Amino acid sequence: MIPVFIRSTNDDGSWPSGEASDWWLHQSLSSLSTSLQKIGGGLVLRQGPSAAVLHKLIQETGAGAVFWNRRYEPAVRETDSKVRTSLQQAGITTADFNSQLIFEPWEIATKEGRPYQVFTPYWRACLQKGLTSKPIPTPKTIPWPEVWPDSVPLASFQLEPTRDWGTGLKEHWNLGCHGAAERLKEFLRLPVNQYAVDRDQPAVIGTSRLSPHLHFGEISPRTIWHAVHQTLTRSPGDSTGAETYLKEIGWREFAHHLLYHFPQTTDHPLRSEFADFPWEDNEPALRAWQRGMTGYPIVDAGMRELWKTGWMHNRVRMIVASFLVKDLRLHWRHGARWFWNTLVDADLASNTLGWQWSAGCGADAAPYFRVFNPVLQSQKFDPQGEYLARWLPELAALPPKWIHAPWTAPADVLKFAGVALGKTYPRPMVDHGEARDLALAAFQKIKRSV
């Protein structure tokens, strides 16, 4: 058995991976390679068009079969299917497996046999189907070949970032299968029912933070499912936390279900009336959002956490998304692209679902008129302003009472905290009240065409 990773250069129209993802992939490959070496093998790295690379490897090694795990993004699905055909035509045995998901996107359907478009009934159907098979443990030994084919050096993939954010990322993540397993263990050590409460507080480590590990296949959702159920069996009692957490795994499944059945949603709204939405075109506003300089502390804290660590707390993702789409009325695609490029857990399915949900144009979406108030959200979920102070050092000296909306603070409070609005920290780039009215007015325009 020869483990191979191909850095594919397929011209399949898929979005080029972002820098944060690339960074993770680099570390993850290096970690996988080390693990394989420890059990006497290794990982062969190659670059080029998938099919051509595989055919060449087969020629070099005399391999008779190729196995891989299924992928679900629209563009790569097509590529993988072409690869399969071309291998089979050459008389090679192929087999593909499911490692990424608990439920295949096509095996859950409504009574009419159609895909679900609302989460709750979808998840109910999943739970009813249940998961019977147990995850297969990591093999202790693998039959290795006598002679190894050449491998290109990992560095030749040029996955390491050009900008210096490696230090910020490294401090926050422990990569690889081992890191993923550790993180799951740590997460499950917390009281299970704590999750339902803590997960919404960005200042607290209350979420599992497994998303990048899941995305890169360092841990499978089935492993998580079983570990959570085991914890429940060991210490029964209040299971709301566990159910809430598994529901998040469910959203990930749902995202893949939707992307499989509605592949156009990566770029186009699922609800077609939103194609006519009067989005603004405002480059400086987009830049202010990206850089965390909107003047709304909770938005800026989130955007800076993202830039620094390649990750953002889920509650804050919803807040910054609402701000981009409703307060600035910039197309959700701008947000999706930015997240794609900066998140270590960038995942086409989850990202697409998340942004369309926020914009109100997707499946099971928040109605468009549901506009987040960035100040209220901040006060509600970060009451002490700890999260704000952590990511906005220029506001750290402001007391909790004023840090959520510095422009409302008395002059002497600002002065004492060393805050000079418009100088050390921007004034709010829009008035939320006015922005909300404008967003609702814009919504009225497309509502008529429904």
Catalytic residue among 98, 193, 314, 341: 314
CA neighbor of 304 nearest in space, from 418, 162, 202: 202
Q: Point out which span in 231-239, 335-343, 413-421, 433-441 binds DNA (CB under 7 A).
A: 433-441
The interface with DNA within residues 98-157 (CB under 7 A) comprises 119
**Residue 93: φ, ψ to 5°:** -75, 135
Token pair for 116: 């679900």
Count how many residues are written for the chain. 450
What would the DSSP string read from start to end of 351-377? HHHHHHHHHT-STTPPPTT----HHHH
Q: Does the active-site annotation cover 248?
A: yes
DSSP 3-state of 106: coil
Q: Point out which span in 58-66, 210-218, 270-278, 370-378 binds DNA (CB under 7 A).
A: 370-378
Q: Which is nearer to DNA, 93 or 444 (CB)?
A: 444
* List of residues 6+ apart from 182 with CB closer than 8 A: 174
**Closest approach of Cβ 30 to DNA, in Å?**
33
* List of residues 6+ apart from 61 with CB closer than 8 A: 2, 145, 147, 149
Q: Does the active-site annotation cover 407?
A: no
450 is a site residue for DNA (CB under 7 A): no
Q: Cα(424)–Cα(74) distance, rounded to whole angstroms?
A: 45
Half-sphere exposure of 296 (CA within 13 A, CB side): 28
Q: Does the active-site annotation cover 332?
A: yes
Residue from 40, 153, 367, 410 that binds DNA (CB under 7 A)? 367
376 is a site residue for DNA (CB under 7 A): yes
**Closest approach of Cβ 136 to DNA, in Å?**
29
Catalytic residue among 15, 68, 144, 279: 279
The interface with DNA within residues 321-350 (CB under 7 A) comprises none
CA neighbor of 46 nearest in space, from 9, 92, 84: 9
380 is a site residue for DNA (CB under 7 A): yes
Q: Which is nearer to DNA, 58 or 301 (CB)?
A: 301
**Closest approach of Cβ 305 to DNA, in Å?**
18
433 is a site residue for DNA (CB under 7 A): yes
DSSP designation for 192:
G
Q: Point out which span in 21-29, 57-65, 265-273, 311-319 binds DNA (CB under 7 A).
A: 311-319
**Closest approach of Cβ 373 to DNA, in Å?**
4
**Closest approach of Cβ 172 to DNA, in Å?**
22
Q: 392, 297 in Cβ contact below 8 A?
A: yes
Angle between helices 314-322 and 297-309 (to 10 degrees): 120
Q: How far is CA 136 from CA 41, 72, 220, 226, in A?
A: 20, 21, 10, 11
Maximum separation of any 2 CA atoms in the chain, in Å = 79
Catalytic residue among 24, 251, 340, 402: 251
**Closest approach of Cβ 441 to DNA, in Å?**
8
40 is a site residue for DNA (CB under 7 A): no
Look at the block and give the residue holding tokens 């938005």: 299
Residue from 251, 274, 311, 391 that binds DNA (CB under 7 A)? 251
Binding site for DNA (CB under 7 A): 119, 200, 248, 251, 314-315, 318, 357, 366-367, 369-373, 376-377, 380, 432-433, 436, 440
Catalytic residues, which ones?
Answer: 248, 251, 279, 314, 332, 355
